[in-house]
Chains A and B, each alone.
Chain A
Amino acid sequence: MESKDLNLSIEAVGSSGFILSSEQRAALQTSLVLLQNKQKFANVFFWGKIIGGREDYYIAQGIAKDYLSERRTLYSKDCVHWGLLPRPTADTKAKAKQITGYFTGDPSYESEQKIVTLVGDEETEEIITLKEEDRLAAVVSEIDNDVAIVPRGAFVRDPTGKTYQNRVFEGLTLSEASQLYSYLHFRKAEKLLSKTLLQRSNLDKSLDFMDTIEEDIPRGCWSLQLERGGGLVTLRSLLWLGYVFYHVPGTRQYGSVYFGRGDKNIDLPFML
């Protein structure tokens, strides 16, 4: 969620149990402004909170210009002092997927995991280690890739390929907001290119350049609820429990936040 309307946005996700105390809100308001200035970001977002076994991490993201380009991720333990997280490499991401368990709350902690692989008839054990900072960066990037969504129409792409916010986006109507196809994954399109030309003929090239969440596997991995009788639409991801997206239909307000342990819910198919 944008740092500018942090207070309003937090109220909207309050019904999902995500609360920031007054001290945290005050600290964030000040420190995010300082962060934006120091790092020369065009926009700063409060991404969410990763709950650890002993202490929690607060995550913020900043973008330079293009929304879809690389974002810089920062973390903090007290909402005042922020540290830059390294960009995750493919190797780090692969390792982070193997490591289970809570984050500890100590950024320099090395998590160890024993991996037993079967090669032919022999079992080989290897121990992979990953520093908590790297694991954090990898998890944040994976969550963004898997479940970060925006409403359809909020972002436009011009013929040169640049993505920017649609200034005349008036929000989704209630009927649009109750449909899963009105929400798009905020990442480079993966499934779009494999669609047939016939399916793509109905799409608007400037708006539908990202995948919709309607085709996510397994079906039913998004929980869409209307609160306040239709005044607020909340989408909760069942794959990454703790990711919540909200939108007030008919207005430009939308945002998303993640408050969770940073663990993928791979039991999802059993639980549906």
Chain B
Amino acid sequence: MSALRSASDLSSPRIIDSQYVDEKSFLYETSTVTGLNLYDHLARVLTKILNEKPQNAADVFEDYSRNEKRPKPAPSSRNASVADEVQSKTELALAEIQEKLFSKGEGEDDIEVEDEYPIPNIMELSFFFEQAGIGLNREEMFRVGMALKNLTENHPLEHARFWGKIFGIEDNYLVAEVEYREGDEEEDEDDALEEVSEEQERQEAEENEEEDDTPKMVHRVSVVPREEMRTGANKKTYFVCNELGKPWTRLPHVTPAQIVAARKIKKFFTGRLDAPITSYPPFPGNEANYLRAQIARISAGTHISPVGFYQFDEEDVDDDDGGALPDNFIINTEFEPIPARELASSSLTSWVHHVQHILPQGRCSWWNPKEEEEGEPDSDAEEERADEPQPEVGPPLLSPLSGDADVDGMSPWTTSLSSKLVPQFAVAVVRSCLWPGAHAFAFGKIFENIYIGWGHKYSAHSFSPMQTAPVQDEYPTEPKITEVDDPTPEEEAAAREGQEEDDQDEQDDDGNYDDDDD
């Protein structure tokens, strides 16, 4: 009300009344800009403050006032707005998908204890990962376990484990590493992405060539063949999914060309498996192939185990093969657990790689490109001996970490104990500096590897793309191949006359036509 009113105001009731009416009608005046009036606004703000009774109400008065002035969505009968409906729908959809993770499979009511359960104890691993400070949070690891269980129920798998998580721009990938049961892999083509096998390509090319009469290329670029399933870089098969609960997709096998190209480019993953990879040098495949190639490189570089856990099968060691390196190992049943302090020592002698190193060629076992040309032994016999390419060698399987090359002047692995205050029960943790995001832990007889990251190698220098090939030179011009203009009719006539004169001369001389004259 009016600030001028005071107890000593001797105005008559009528004047007071009219002053009151004036001022009240002033408060009721609607604003020409927003249509609000002060009276209603103050009434609303004070009501809200009295309902909520915030602390320091005088201080927050402006905030409440501003909030009241904001345009509010008109509340409909049920839901507050379309936006909220959308939110609840997407959350609901995902929750419904994930509910299936929690349903028990058929015939699981009789608890049969199988001897060989294909999935490791996820919750135990999740506990150790948490102590080591790596991995995903507990609820997500549990969902991972359930999703792996789903995977083993839908496919005939011998082993399945959680390989890790690769982040993408729009969506992430959760990767599972599996091993099929013997002989079952070829039949299981349900979820496989389309792979154009090399044989199919060659057959198609040959069919086309038979109808074509154009001369064939003499110089053939030999393509390094990819390794067979279950050997080398294709030893394990990988499944990915974007969100736990959604179906798993199998990744195609990796070819050496893809690994070689993947080493030269550095691209973020988008989260869609069919996204194209635009890069230089052009990557032979789409994002699914690039993902598989990176997974192969990461596994080869960072999958480690405590020394002695795996050992070579004595039947496999062949001394007649000229020192061929065994590529298979079995679990050592007499493994003695190594104390955590030794595992966490920075000398790295207690860990070994148990995945074969990938050679620069893109394969784990060297493939001689000369062997393909078996159809022409005679002509190439001498050349073969001269140009025999040097076989590439890499560190053998089960070689210790102490042999790894330094990164940036530092050891390529960081070791630590999970707890500084209780070292007796600590878990030994090893972290890769070359592939940031690759971790491994070991505790007693339990160990595990995991990768959580963006899927790229670390380099102290910034990435520079491969230089494009120099522009091809044109063929050097020589007089032999330079085009010459056709002679004009006048020149032809002049030449013909010249020839007739010469012929006549020679006819007079020896009566023979001289054919050499031109």
- Please indicate whether A and B come from the same complex rather than being unrelated chains: yes
B381 on interface, CB distance cutoff 8 Å: no
- Do residues A236 and B167 form an inter-chain contact, with CB atoms below 8 A? yes
A158 to B86, CA, bound (A): 34
Chain A residues contacting B414 (CB-CB under 8 Å) are: 53-54
Interface of chain B: mostly helix, strand, loop or mixed: loop
Q: In this complex, what residue of A is CB-closest to B73?
A: A173
B421 on interface, CB distance cutoff 8 Å: yes
Q: In this complex, what residue of A is CB-closest to B409?
A: A101
Mark interface residues in A49-82 (1 if CB within 8 Å of B CB, else 0): 0010111000000000000000000000010000
Chain B residues contacting A55 (CB-CB under 8 Å) are: 416
- Do residues A173 and B463 form an inter-chain contact, with CB atoms below 8 A? no
Q: In this complex, what residue of A is CB-closest to B416?
A: A55
Q: A23-B419, A271-B267 are in contact. Are A249 and B60 (CB under 8 A)?
A: no
Chain B residues contacting A101 (CB-CB under 8 Å) are: 408-409, 460
- Do residues B463 and A267 form an inter-chain contact, with CB atoms below 8 A? yes
State which residues 218-264 of A face B: CB under 8 Å: 220, 223, 225-226, 228-231, 236, 238, 241, 249-250, 261
CB of A155, distance to nearest CB on chain B (Å): 12
A266 on interface, CB distance cutoff 8 Å: yes
CB of B391, distance to nearest CB on chain A (Å): 34
Chain A residues contacting B436 (CB-CB under 8 Å) are: 51, 261
Residues of A within 8 A of B (CB-CB), count:
49
- Do residues B418 and A21 form an inter-chain contact, with CB atoms below 8 A? yes
State which residues 72-114 of B face A: CB under 8 Å: 81, 83-84, 86-87, 90-95
A249 to B87, CA, bound (A): 9
- Do residues B421 and A19 form an inter-chain contact, with CB atoms below 8 A? no
B187 on interface, CB distance cutoff 8 Å: no
B304 on interface, CB distance cutoff 8 Å: no
Q: Which of A101, A156, A249: most chain B CB closer than 10 A?
A: A101
Chain A residues contacting B169 (CB-CB under 8 Å) are: 220, 223, 238, 272
A236 to B268, CA, bound (A): 13
Q: Looking at the complex, which one of B67, B90, B268 makes contact with A230 (CB distance below 8 Å)?
A: B90
CB of A100, distance to nearest CB on chain B (Å): 5
Mark interface residues in A93-135 (1 if CB within 8 Å of B CB, else 0): 0000000111010000000000000000000000000000000
A249 to B84, CA, bound (A): 10
Q: A102-B433, A167-B54 are in contact. Are A21 and B87 (CB under 8 A)?
A: no
Q: In this complex, what residue of A is CB-closest to B268?
A: A271
Contacts A19-B133, A21-B418, A249-B87 given; 15 further ones with Cβ under 8 A?
Answer: A10-B137, A14-B138, A15-B137, A19-B135, A20-B133, A21-B419, A53-B433, A168-B66, A168-B67, A228-B91, A229-B95, A238-B268, A241-B454, A270-B463, A272-B169
List chain B positions with a Cβ less than 8 A from chain A: 54, 60, 62-64, 66-67, 81, 83-84, 86-87, 90-95, 129-138, 140, 165, 167-172, 266-268, 346, 408-411, 414, 416, 418-422, 431, 433, 436-437, 452-454, 456, 458, 460-463, 465
The 10 closest A-B pairs by CB, nearest first: A14-B137, A229-B94, A17-B452, A174-B87, A229-B91, A267-B463, A230-B90, A175-B83, A53-B410, A21-B133
